[in-house]
A and B are shown apart, each in its own frame.
Chain A
Amino acid sequence: MRMSGAGVVAAAIAVLMLAATGCGSEENAGAESSDLEFVAVFHNPPAQPYMAQLRRGIEDAAEKLGVNARVTGPEKFSPAKQADLLTSAIAGKPDGIITSIPDPRPVDGPLRRAIDEGIPVFVLDARDERPLDERIPYYDFVGVSVALEGELGAEALLKEGKPKLAVCPVSEAGNISLEKTCDGFEARMKKEGVPVDTIQISLGQNPSQQAADIRSYLNGHPDADAIFTLGPIDALSVNKVLEEEGLLDRVKHSTVVLDKTIVKPFRDGEIVGVVEPQPYFQGFMSVVGLYLKNRYGFEFAHDVFTDVLVDASDLDRLSKQLDQGIR
C-alpha cells in the first residue's frame, strides 16, 4: 500500500489518537513500541537552533509514541562527518534512521547500505535533489523543497514591488541546499527581469564579521534593494545593518525560518515575509513515519513539503507556538 503526502498526515493523526487513548491494538503494541530504536543523524550540530527544533519534534514524538530516539550530528556543518556518524549508527542495527541530505555524495554509501540491510531511512529537512533514478531510495521525505523555499522568498519581496537588484547571501559555503535555495530565488526573480547576486558571507558565529560583509556589499552596490536571507541568524545581521545604515525603508528583506529573535522586526514590517519550514513538524513526522513503517508496514508515495510563506498577520498564532517551543 502506498500513501500520498496528505495520507501521511492523516495516518499520523490517527496513530497519535490511538496512542493517546490507548485504543485498538496499542495494548499489545506498547511493549513492542518501546523496543523500537530510531537514530537521527543531522548534517549540522543538534545544538544549532534550527536543528534543535527538528530534535525537539523527534523527541516529543518518540515520547508520545513510546519509542526510543537518539539524535546526533557533527560539531559543525559536515556531510562527511555525518556519513561517519551514519556508519556508526547503522552498525547498531536500529529500527530506523532519520537523516538530512544537504549533500548526497558523502552519505550515499552508508544510506544505501542501511536500506540494503532492511533499515528504513526517513529523510527530513533536505532531501536528495538528484533525479529519481539516481536518488538514494529512502523510505520517505518530509521537509523543504529548496527551490520552493527560494521561490516563496522571492514572492514575498515581489509583493512589495519590483526590485532593481536582489541579493541572496550564503553563509555556509558548500551547503548545496542553501545554494539551490538561492537558485530557486534567482529563477523566480529572473522571471520578473530582476538580476540576482548570490554572495558568500561569513558564518553567523561571528555576527560582526557577517554584518561587515553585508554592509560592504551594500556600500559597493547601492542598487541592491531586496535581500533574501537563509536563516534567522543571517536575517538578524542583515536587519541590524539595514537599521544602522538607515536602509530599512529602501531595502526589502525576506527570510527563512521564524524564531523569537526576528519576531520584532517581522512585526514592525522590517522583514516583509518569512518562509517557515516548520522543523518541529518535520522532526515529529519522521518518527511517526518510521513508527508506521515498523508497526504496520505502511509505504509512502510522495515527498511531503513543509514550507509555508507567513506574513505578520499570522504572528499571533505563530507567537503562541514560539512560546511553546514548537516553532
Chain B
Amino acid sequence: MVATLVTFVAFSAVAPGFLTLGSLASTLVLAAELGIVAMAVTMLMISGEFDLSVGSVLGLSSMLIPYTMVTYGWPAGVAIVFAMGAALLIGLANGLIVTKIGIPSFIVTLGGLLLWRGMSAVISEGQTFSVPYESSALAVFSQRFGEGFSVSAIWFAAVLLLLAFMLGRTMFGNWVFASGGNEPAARNMGVPVDRTRIMLFMCTAGAAALVAVIQVGRFTSVDPQRGANLELEAITAAVVGGTLLTGGYGSVIGTALACLMLGMIRNGLVLAGVADYWYAATIGLLVVGAVVINHYVSRAARAHGSD
C-alpha cells in the first residue's frame, strides 16, 4: 500500500499529465488485465504451486475466438464459451497431472507454456486472425466509457472482491493457506489439498481466458505471440504484493495494489520521457526488494512466534 502511494506521489510530481483522467484510465486498464490473472496466480502460489502456462493459455484462448468465428462461422458468444471451456480443461489437466501423477507444477506448466503457444501457431498457421464483425458479446467484456476507462476495471474489481472474499472468509480460503503452509499437516486434518489445487489451476486458466476475451473485444485481432511473458509478470505482481514463493502466505489485495503500482510505473515512465528499457530494470529492482523484505518479515514473524 505504502509503495503504491509513494509511486503515485512520485510520478504525479515528475511525469507531466500523470494526474489526468486519461492517464489514470490507462493505468487502470493495465492494472486490470494483469491483475485478473495475477490474483488467480497469487491464490495458486499461496497453495504452494506455480502456473507458468497462463500466458500461453491466454494466447490460445484469444486465438480460438476469431479462429472459430472465421473458420466455422460460430457466433461470438459460442466462441467465447468454447475458448473459456478450453482454458478450464487445460487448467483441469494441469491440476490432475500435478496432484494425481505427482509431477512438479513448475515442470507441468512449463510444458504447457510451450505446448499451448505452439498450438496457437499450429491453429493459425502463424497468421493473425481477426473477429469478422462487431459483437455485443465481446463488447460486454471490453466496452469503454468516460475518459478512456474500460469495463475491464469492473471485471478487475469483481474478481478482486470474489477472490478476497474466498480467501479471507470461506473454508476454501483456509484450505488454500493450509495446502501451501504445511501440506502433510493439512492432509492429516482432512483438507482436500488435491481438490483445492485442481480448482486453483482451473481458476488461473479461467482468469487467463477472461483477459483473452477482454483483449479480443478491444483489439479484435490476435497473433500467435499474444500473451507471451504474462506468466512472469503475474508472478512478479504476486511477489511484489507480498506473496511468498514458498507458499502458505499472500494476499490478493496486495497483488492488486502491486498491479496498480506496476501500471503506474509503466505509464509514468512513458509520460516522464524515460526509455522503455528502464521499466524492466525497475521491475527487477522491485522484485528483489520485495523478496528481501518478505524474507525479513517472515523471519521476524517466526522469531515472534517462537517467543
Contacts and interface: CB of A to CB of B under 8 A. Distances in A.
A219 B29 contact: no
Contacts of B267: 212, 216
Interface size class of A (residues with CB under 8 A): 35 or more
Contacts of B226: 205, 207
B249 to A, nearest CB: 28
| Chain A interface, DSSP helix/strand/loop, else mixed | helix
Which of A206, A207, A215 has the most CB atoms of chain B within a 10 A radius of its CB? A206
B17 A76 contact: no
B271 A49 contact: no
B12 interface: no
Contacts of A244: 144, 148
B113 to A, nearest CB: 10
Contact of B33 (A52, A208, A219): A208
Interface stretch (B19-27, B99-107, B159-167): B19-27
Interface string B29-56: 1100100000000000000000000000
A261 B275 contact: no
A48 interface: yes
Interface string B210-232: 00000100111101111111100
B271 A220 contact: yes
A55 B33 CA distance: 33
B16 interface: yes
Contacts of B221: 236, 261
Contacts of A236: 219, 221
Nearest to A55: B126
A211 B142 CA distance: 14
Interface in B204-256: 215, 218-221, 223-230
B180 to A, nearest CB: 28
Contacts of A135: none
A137 interface: no
A42 B169 CA distance: 53
A219 B266 contact: no
Interface stretch (A7-15, A25-33, A196-204): A196-204
Given A48-B126, A173-B276, A212-B267, A204 B218 contact: no
Contact of A212 (B17, B30, B227): B30
A157 to B, nearest CB: 22
Nearest to B29: A208
Interface in B115-142: 120-121, 124-128, 130
B277 A260 contact: no
Interface in B264-279: 266-267, 270-271, 273, 275-277
B219 A259 contact: no
B17 A47 contact: no
Contacts of B271: 216, 219-220
Interface of A: 45-49, 51-52, 55, 76, 173, 199-209, 211-213, 215-217, 219-220, 232-233, 236-237, 240, 244-245, 259-261, 325
Given A49-B127, A212-B26, 9 more contacts: A49-B223, A199-B270, A200-B275, A200-B276, A201-B276, A213-B266, A220-B271, A232-B128, A260-B127
